[in-house]
Homo-oligomer: A and B are copies of this chain.
Amino acid sequence: MYRISELAKRCGVNKETIRYYEKRQLLPLPTRTEAGYRLYSDADAKRIQFIKRLQQLGFSLTEIHQLLGIVDQDKERCANMYEFVSKKVEEVQKQIKDLQRVVCMLQDLQKRCPDDKALYECPMIETLIEEEFST
């Protein structure tokens, strides 16, 4: 068991971030020393790494809280899991499609870059505005 600074160092996050996650209920209330210092274990470190990984992957802290319902075997949060996950799958698939279009646009731009005139003549606005929004 170690204190907050040690946990922060191990996870590469700020101490205040850990307190913030506690407030957001992403971390369980830690045990305390007699003086009131928070005490953590490797399970907490693993949980923080999980949170950070999901965050990198584009989940909000609210969504991560929902997903942690599985880890915590929480009936309430798990009850809505199927709907939540289905929605998120669709959302992410749409996002992937959009990003693939962004890559195409950027690569076209990249090819034009060495030549100023080609750049200025780039049909970027028309390309993007006149397409239907992907649904």
Bound-state CA distance A70–B108 (Å) is 13
Size category of the A interface is: 35 or more
Q: Is A13 in the interface zone, CB < 8 Å from B?
A: no
Bound-state CA distance A38–B95 (Å) is 36
Given contacts A46-B129, A81-B113, A96-B100, contact A107 B89 (CB under 8 A): yes
User: Majority SS of interface residues in chain A?
Assistant: helix
Interchain residue pairs with CB less than 8 A apart (17): A49-B129, A50-B125, A50-B129, A56-B98, A56-B133, A57-B101, A58-B102, A67-B124, A71-B125, A81-B113, A82-B113, A82-B114, A86-B110, A89-B107, A92-B99, A92-B103, A99-B99
